[in-house]
């Protein structure tokens, strides 16, 4: 199943998921540094990383939903896509609650509940990331029809497949 949401010929959803994943993970890392050093600069940076992750997660969700709607119902891919989606919604909610807790503290400092929500969110992202990998790597969701090792560039305007594909022959052959 080919992705419907594309930018410059590539599926958009995988391009956008890297930002919330990185920002959420960095938020947890900065929380740990805050707890070790006591420097509020790290707690504040974590809070703003999480805010960026929430925005990025919502943007990635738009493209993911667009692709999910194209998956035929009653398939394993649709079921896995549903769990992937729901899991990621839960992750964004966990981080949103963590962010609200931080916003409500004097100096926007990290608290234990805010930190725990972040750790649970990052751990959950490992599961939803695996589900996303299952969709793409195992089930071919978001892959161009006819993709192969010698497909032309997505910027070429040519389809990934040819009517009759013949692999390039090496000079030794």
Residues 52-111: tens digit of each pLDDT: 999 999 999 999 998 899 888 999 989 999 999 999 999 999 999 999 999 988 778 999
Tokens of 87: 């899991």
Domain count, the chain: 1
pTM of structure: 0.82
Any domain includes 166? no
In a domain, 25, yes or no: yes
Residue 6: strand pairing partners: 11
Task: Name every residue whose Cβ is closer than 8 Å to that of residue 168 and which is 6 or more positions away in sequence.
Answer: 150
CA–CA distances in Å: residue 145 to residues 3, 155, 160? 10, 16, 7
In a domain, 47, yes or no: yes
Q: Does 168 map to a domain? A: no
In a domain, 119, yes or no: yes
Closest CA to 124 of 55, 16, 21: 21
Q: Over the range 83-104, which residues count as b (16 or more CB within 10 Å of their CB) and which as e? A: ebbebbeebbebbbebbebbee
pLDDT digits (tens, 9 = 90+) for 29-60: 999 999 999 999 999 999 999 999 999 999 99
In a domain, 149, yes or no: no
Flag whether 160 is in a domain.
Answer: no
- The C-alpha atoms of residue 140 and residue 138 are separated, in whole angstroms, by 6
Answer whether residue 96 is part of any domain: yes
E-strand stretches of 3-80? 6-7, 10-11
Structural domain range at position 45 = 6-144
């Amino acid at each position: 199943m080919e992705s419907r949401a594309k930018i410059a010929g590539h599926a958009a959803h995988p391009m956008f998921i890297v930002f919330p994943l990185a920002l959420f993970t960095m938020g947890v890392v900065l929380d740990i540094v805050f707890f070790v050093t006591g420097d509020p600069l790290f707690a504040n940076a974590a809070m703003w990383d999480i805010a960026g992750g929430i925005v990025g997660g919502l943007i990635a969700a738009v493209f993911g939903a667009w692709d999910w709607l194209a998956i035929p119902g009653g398939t394993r891919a649709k079921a896995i896509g549903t769990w992937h989606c729901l899991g990621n919604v839960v992750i964004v909610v966990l981080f949103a609650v963590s962010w609200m807790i931080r916003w409500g503290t004097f100096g926007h400092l990290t608290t234990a509940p805010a930190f725990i929500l972040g750790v649970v969110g990052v751990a959950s992202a490992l599961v939803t990331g695996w589900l996303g990998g299952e969709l793409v790597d195992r089930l071919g969701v978001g892959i161009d029809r006819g993709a192969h090792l010698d497909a032309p560039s997505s910027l070429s305007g040519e389809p990934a497949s040819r009517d009759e594909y013949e692999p390039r022959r090496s000079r030794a052959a």
